Amino acid sequence: MEQTDLRPATRTEVRPVTARQRMARAARNGGEPTLDFAERVPYDAYVQASTLHRLQQPLSGDPGEMSFLMVSQIMELYFGLTCHELRETSRLLRADRVWEALAPLRRAALHLEGLNAAWRGLRWMTPADFNRFRNLLGEGSGFQSAMYRHLEFLLGLRDPALIRPFRRQTEVYAELTDALATPSVWDEVVALLARYGHDLPTELLERDVATEHETHPAVEAAWVQIYADTGPDNHLRLLGEALTEVAEQFGDWRHHHIKAVQRTMGAKVGSGGSAGLAWLQRSMARVVFPELWSARTAM
């Protein structure tokens, strides 16, 4: 998915300064922070904090709904941030820059760790707490998060049917369609292994990337061979461990999601029309980066 570059629009408000200018300002202020600005406060111009804090529009007067709404928005931001890192990972892997790809992968794992921590902000919620405003959400469901769908597609979890809810949001639908047609991180990894000399069949390398990758013994054998080399220069092994951390953190998020649903609504029907808890439990069977896990049996 192409991202809009917002930097030109903010240049007139966020003005770069040099180290010398900072030192001069500190000297004029006697070490105290600057309190007077001719225009908008620079922090707000950069972070857009005043905009962020106007995005919460609860549907009820229940004070607990703000937690539910804001934690959901925080998770959306983490979805987008993790997608950003995974796209950068894919770009570097396509260029065979394995060592450089480790940095965005490790950042992605840390962002997923932050995403997991966000669930703690909802641990207070009982069924009675949720029921006070749940009906006002109508058919709204986290299942309908377009950015979460982007995250799944990047991780290799692909079901073309899941973009159907967005057909009438033409821009979002087009972005998701493009994402389905773009190789996932795992597709890029498999192609990388072939370029590094591992024997992978042509039909695997030329498959339709819009469909979900199925575990293949040749990919599993490649990882067994990679992990057999424990030398410090084995960047593929380091890549495998970074990918494993991402997959594990994402799996933890799905597990926390199930526990949150159990805590707040048990096995009730989901707001978006699904079977709720049962649907989420079935989705857990779809494994991210599957051969990294299955290969461990043969190591």
Name the binding residues for heme: 257
The whole-angstrom separation of Cα 277 and Cα 289 is 24
Token readout for 56 is: 């919460």
Whole-number Cα distances in Å, 154 to 56, 70, 122, 149, 294 = 28, 25, 27, 9, 20
Residue 154 has a CB neighbour count (10 Å cut-off) of 26
Would you give the end-to-end CA distance of the chain in angstroms?
37
Q: Which residues are annotated as a binding site for substrate?
A: 134
Residue 143 has a CB neighbour count (10 Å cut-off) of 18
Q: Which of 198, 196, 197, 194 is nearest to 207 (CA)?
A: 194
Query: Residue 242 is which amino acid?
Result: A
Q: Which residues are annotated as a binding site?
A: 134, 257
Token readout for 287 is: 């494994």
The whole-angstrom separation of Cα 9 and Cα 295 is 48
The whole-angstrom separation of Cα 174 and Cα 63 is 37
